[in-house]
Amino acid sequence: MLNKQEAEAALNQIEQTQRRSIELIGYWRSGIYVQIWGVVWIVAYMGSYFLPEVSNIIWLICNGFGVTATAILSLRDRNNAQQEKRLAWAMVVVASFGLLVSYNLLAHRPGTLPVFWTCLIMSAYILAGLWAGTRWIVLGAAVIAISVATYFYFMPWFDLIMAFAGGGGLLLGGTWMARAK
């Protein structure tokens, strides 16, 4: 027979195991999405570096691919419809804010749009990390730091560095999440 302290300790251990399991399952499910967007960033930033005159079209096509792949995967993996609705609305809010700022405040400042969008999206990763786990925070903070440092110190090579550091970081971060233990 268990005494009160032993029962509380056992219940606490069960709670910790449950929380950790939920976190690891979340990482495992999210890893593929982060990897997809890592590939999108690599292709889009490389395309922007080598073909700057059609950069907007490259990003439009790459983002279209990323959104389509994300939608297909999320439809396939529908476990929590209510949570997905909230996530979809959160993405709409972030994208709307980004478009508003991009076209009203930053449109006439050279080089600021990619940095802004990177920081905005990675800030969403950091916020997600407050609920979903520290790997989101680490990934978001690392990509923001790389983006800002590249903007201030290596602007002529921004697209090339972001292809490898930003896109590659997302690709590796997605793998890190998918293989969380």
In a domain, 92, yes or no: yes
In a domain, 11, yes or no: no
pTM (two decimals): 0.76
The confidence score (pLDDT) of residue 146 equals: 92
In a domain, 65, yes or no: yes
> How many alpha carbons lie under 13 Å from residue 107 in its C-beta half-sphere?
7
In a domain, 46, yes or no: yes
Report how many domains make up the chain.
Answer: 1
140's CB contacts (< 8 A; 6+ apart) are 122, 123, 124, 125, 126, 128, 129
**What are 1-29's pLDDT values in tens digits?**
778 888 787 778 878 877 766 665 666 67
In a domain, 2, yes or no: no
**What are 64-118's pLDDT values in tens digits?**
999 899 888 877 766 655 556 666 677 777 777 777 776 666 666 677 888 888 8
Domain encompassing residue 157: 17-178
In a domain, 134, yes or no: yes
74's CB contacts (< 8 A; 6+ apart) are 84
In a domain, 9, yes or no: no
In a domain, 114, yes or no: yes
Residue 138 has pLDDT above 60, yes or no: yes
